Structure 1
Amino acid sequence: MTASSDEIKIKADQSKDAANALFKEKKFKEAIEKYTEAIELHPVSTYYTNRAFCHIKLEAYGYAITDAESALALDPTLTKANYRRASANMALGKFKEALKDLKVVSKRAPGDKDAKQKLDECAKIVKRIEFEKAIEADNDQPSIADTLDLAAMTVEDAYDGPHIKNDTIDEEFVTKMVDRFKEQKKIHKKYAFMIIMAVRKMMREAPSLIDVQVPKDGKLTVCGDVHGQFYDFINIFNFNGFPSSTHAYLFNGDFVDRGSFSLEVILTLFAYKCVFPDRLFLARGNHETDNMNKVYGFEGEVKAKYSEVMFKLFSDTFNALPLAHVIENKILVVHGGLFSRDGVTLDDIRKIDRLAHRQPPNEGLMCELLWSDPQPEPGRGASKRGVGVQFGPDVTKAFLERNNLDMLIRSHEVKEDGYVIEHDGKCVTVFSAPNYW
């Protein structure tokens, strides 16, 4: 017996209600499944916008844009769909596209303060980007690092935090700095600048792909995204051991954004890099970029705690972060994943001129290293994020065999248990920010 139209609508609403409940519990993947059930039963524009919101929460911005556009196709007047598309485009750094939708939203809902705030924020970013592009066109413009005079910075007598002695960042200083951060206190701006400048110099001298050896009679720990969750980040060291001559660490990008203590996380990592330059390795993630930092909080945090100049120095340093590491000639570690074309070699990665690129382009090897994700199906698929590519187990196998590697380790995706093994054991995702949602 065929269900009536009313019965189908009731079932669709039940699936939608179940999805709403799952969303409130922050079970976004399960909510998507229920919204999909509702859509398959009775495609309604609001179901699409609700599912788009789930995709945004999971950073699947490409899927979110597709759902928002499906909603607009059904109901061109649905303002929420414009808002969802704008939010996804802002996350992807497509601020001009986002601005168009936000203008529509504000026109239709002039009393919506959140929409007005987002419109103003987006408009400012668009103007700032245009201004910065004009400045960058002048090749004679000095780096922000060249304009800093650390010697002229005075540490006031009233400062009661740890001091860097003889211009040397040592383990004692880092330990005291971490203790100070636990009390939610800052270190002096001079010392923060000194740490960043020291790491910037090291990173600019490093290749885009770094070969890593496990310490003799020691170990190497690979960590994924920590996203400014300072106390969880420090717990990694408390449980697993702090960096040392026999215990190396590789942090695989996305140190900042989202969490409230991104500055404390990155200064701790940078300081340990100064103390153990051959035992602490840092890779660039998709959140070590200007667009992400504008949207997800790091830029605002640095400006609030220190200054715009310091954020610009961080940005300049992030541009120099390596893109990949190879452990013992057998394990490739990158933040995102593999590529949209076959035949890529480790030498191709080594040849990437990341210092010339500065901010990652929207396509190509550098972009895909930071943004791509694995998929269970063979072959390649369109990225759920709207940038990068999705790659299957056959793609992983072929890449590893071509480059005489055994495994790919990557991060970039939330995993409930902190890690997941895919692609017949050849692809491991590591994510190190617990209670992320």
Structure 2
Amino acid sequence: MADTMGNENSSVTENDANDDLPVDPSAVTEEDKKKAEELKEEANAFFKNEDYTRAIEKYSAAIKLNPFVSPYYGNRSFAYLRTECFGYALSDASKALSLDKNYLKAYYRRASANMALGKFKLALRDFEAVTKVKPNDKDARVKYNECNKICKRIAFEKAIASDENFAKSVADSIDIESLVIEPSYDGPHLEDGKVTVDFVNALTEAYKEQKKLPKKYVCQILIQAKNIFCEQESLVYIDVPEKSKFTICGDIHGQYYDLLNVFKMNGKPSEENPYLFNGDFVDRGSFSVECIMTLLSYKLLYPKHFFMARGNHESLTMNQMYGFEGEVKSKYSAQLCELFTEVFNWLPLSHCINKKILIMHGGLFASDEVTLDDIAATQRNRQPPESGIMCELLWSDPQPQKGRAPSKRGVGVQFGPDVTKTFLERNNLEYVVRSHEVKNEGYEVMHDGKCITVFSAPNYCDTMGNKGAYITVTGDNLTPNFTSYEAVPHPNVKPMAYANPFFGLF
């Protein structure tokens, strides 16, 4: 959960904020209490203006002066939710409740964080606690009922998934020939069921005009793409010849018009202009179908020169919460949601360029013992687990300080420059490239130049004001070159337009 607004360099982390706190309420002076309230009001103003990083800084400063006020933690928890730091949000909400078990907003915050992490039963427990305290509160009852519906649906889906009658994959069960192209359709056509250059060029133009590709063609492209991904290992090795350029892009998150702008600036993908897109193609932005279908079409057109890695948002829980499932259902059907999930399950987890640059969506590992062979052998045809190599490849983040720390997201780990150095030396690599986090310039270089973040969705969610970026290298010079760019206009469809209605309850 490109997952991905957090910026550990500019915000005060929870651990920082808890250094040297007063341990006795009587030790807090009236002056400190007054100053803490002023800081809280400043934080609230930043939050209202969607400057969540500055809001977190101010809430943290207030906590440092007076750590015994539950709303400070509750408000900071809300800001962490907005920056996808779900681990910190959980911790702050729990701290708020330890100070005041009747502070109902903290139950909501903790439930929201658990919902975002797919821990619906834990979320339901908090909503239930609120309804017991306030049985006549309609708002609390609505939230409880909505979460309960999700829990029941998941239980039902698990039950039918265990039935052998449902074991057959969606890709195998679809009868392509029975799908009909309407006579009125005037968009691009596959040629003998295959993607061509003319098809992709026409498709990008049709999508630009908000036209829709017929379900038959979508199914054909998805099934063919799945077959290609199934043949690859979890770690794909890429050879870039001398003097040849190679482009690495980060999160796209359904921002189709910004994706087209990358191709306008850097050239369309081709055998002479290869690309790697490093996960989080979908969710949040409301043109996710257009993004993923364009990228998969290029994958079919140039299977050895166009690469796609799985991100944390290429997963069922994220798609259910952050918009992709809703968008696919709106534009097509629930069956296609299942087919997309099957394709996402087979996306490679990482890529290695010239055996020197390792690229993954999230980051490095809880153990120093992980090797490239371990990554290649990782079984990936599943939903991401909550720990282990696959989880960490999709969810981890770098931190400036040495060592490791619990993830601010609640999943994966945070790793320092020493962890990066050890991993690179063990595997004879020069540096790692990852995505997963918004950066003001679209990229950031950390860990003595050995850990690079690239994020390609400018003005993320139409609110963050960040630039997007992509990286280019050549086969004989693996030094990264960065290109930053601003967002371009898009049709008047807001981000998260198809997100789970649950988000509207907070």
The question of a shared fold, defined as TM-score above 0.5 by the shorter chain, is answered with yes
Give the partner amino acid of 2:393.
L
> Using the alignment, how far apart are the partners of 2:274 and 2:358 within structure 1?
16
* 2:456 corresponds to 1:432: yes
Displacement after TM superposition at 1:120 (Å)? 3.5
The percent of aligned pairs where both chains have the same amino acid is: 56
1:120–1:179 distance in 2 versus 1, CA, 3 Å: farther
Displacement after TM superposition at 1:18 (Å)? 1.3
Displacement after TM superposition at 1:91 (Å)? 0.8
Correspondences of 1:107-122 after superposition (within 5 Å): 107=132, 108=134, 110-113=136-139, 116-122=141-147
1:248-294 Cα shifts (integer Å, max 9, x gaps): 11111111111111111101111111111111110001110011111
Displacement after TM superposition at 1:21 (Å)? 1.8
Report the counterpart of residue 40 of structure 1 in structure 2: 64
* 2:386 corresponds to 1:362: yes
Structure 2 counterpart of 1:134, from 159, 163, 177: 159
Report the counterpart of residue 55 of structure 1 in structure 2: 80
Q: Which has the higher helix share?
A: 1
> Using the alignment, how far apart are the partners of 1:70 and 1:376 within structure 2?
25
> Using the alignment, how far apart are the partners of 2:370 and 2:211 within structure 1?
46
Structure 2 counterpart of 1:99, from 124, 135, 141: 124
Report the counterpart of residue 388 of structure 1 in structure 2: 412
Number of matched pairs: 433
> Using the alignment, how far apart are the partners of 1:388 and 1:232 within structure 2?
29
Structure 2 counterpart of 1:89, from 114, 126, 150: 114
Structure 2 counterpart of 1:379, from 392, 396, 403: 403
Report the counterpart of residue 34 of structure 2 in structure 1: 10
Report the counterpart of residue 265 of structure 2 in structure 1: 239
* SS of the residue 1:354 aligns to: coil
Report the counterpart of residue 72 of structure 1 in structure 2: 97
* 2:327 corresponds to 1:301: yes
1:369-395 Cα shifts (integer Å, max 9, x gaps): 111111111111111111111111011
* SS of the residue 1:105 aligns to: helix
Contact 1:217/1:246 (8 A) holds in 2: no
Contact 1:216/1:246 (8 A) holds in 2: no
> Using the alignment, how far apart are the partners of 2:438 and 2:306 within structure 1?
23
Contact 1:215/1:248 (8 A) holds in 2: no
Displacement after TM superposition at 1:133 (Å)? 1.9
Displacement after TM superposition at 1:296 (Å)? 0.7
Give the partner amino acid of 1:307.
S
* 2:445 corresponds to 1:421: yes
Contact 2:207/2:290 (8 A) holds in 1: yes
Unaligned runs of 5+ in 2: 1-25, 464-506
Contact 1:230/1:262 (8 A) holds in 2: yes
Displacement after TM superposition at 1:26 (Å)? 2.3
Q: Which has the higher contact order (CA 8 A, sep 6+)?
A: 2
Structure 2 counterpart of 1:311, from 334, 337, 344: 337
Give the partner amino acid of 1:218.
S
Displacement after TM superposition at 1:143 (Å)? 0.6
Q: Which moved more, 1:172-181 or 1:415-424?
A: 172-181
Unaligned runs of 5+ in 1: none
Contact 2:363/2:398 (8 A) holds in 1: yes
Structure 2 counterpart of 1:403, from 427, 433, 452: 427
> Using the alignment, how far apart are the partners of 2:349 and 2:85 within structure 1?
22
1:210–1:173 distance in 2 versus 1, CA, 3 Å: same
Correspondences of 1:224-263 after superposition (within 5 Å): 224-263=250-289
> Using the alignment, how far apart are the partners of 2:138 and 2:185 within structure 1?
44
TM-score, scaled relative to structure 1: 0.96
Q: Which moved more, 1:210-219 or 1:200-209?
A: 210-219
Structure 2 counterpart of 1:276, from 295, 299, 302: 302
* SS of the residue 1:227 aligns to: coil
Displacement after TM superposition at 1:364 (Å)? 0.7
* SS of the residue 2:280 aligns to: coil
1:58–1:4 distance in 2 versus 1, CA, 3 Å: closer
* SS of the residue 2:387 aligns to: coil
**CA root-mean-square deviation:** 1.7
Report the counterpart of residue 355 of structure 2 in structure 1: 329
Displacement after TM superposition at 1:6 (Å)? 3.1
Give the partner amino acid of 1:339.
F
Displacement after TM superposition at 1:138 (Å)? 3.6
Structure 2 counterpart of 1:201, from 218, 227, 248: 227
> Using the alignment, how far apart are the partners of 1:83 and 1:262 within structure 2?
29
1:328-353 Cα shifts (integer Å, max 9, x gaps): 11000001111111111000001111
* 2:215 corresponds to 1:189: yes
* 2:160 corresponds to 1:160: no
Displacement after TM superposition at 1:22 (Å)? 1.6
> Using the alignment, how far apart are the partners of 1:145 and 1:3 within structure 2?
65
> Using the alignment, how far apart are the partners of 1:117 and 1:258 within structure 2?
24
> Using the alignment, how far apart are the partners of 2:153 and 2:308 within structure 1?
29
Displacement after TM superposition at 1:134 (Å)? 2.1
1:257–1:4 distance in 2 versus 1, CA, 3 Å: closer
> Using the alignment, how far apart are the partners of 2:311 and 2:293 within structure 1?
16
Report the counterpart of residue 125 of structure 1 in structure 2: 150
Displacement after TM superposition at 1:217 (Å)? 4.5
> Using the alignment, how far apart are the partners of 1:392 and 1:380 within structure 2?
6
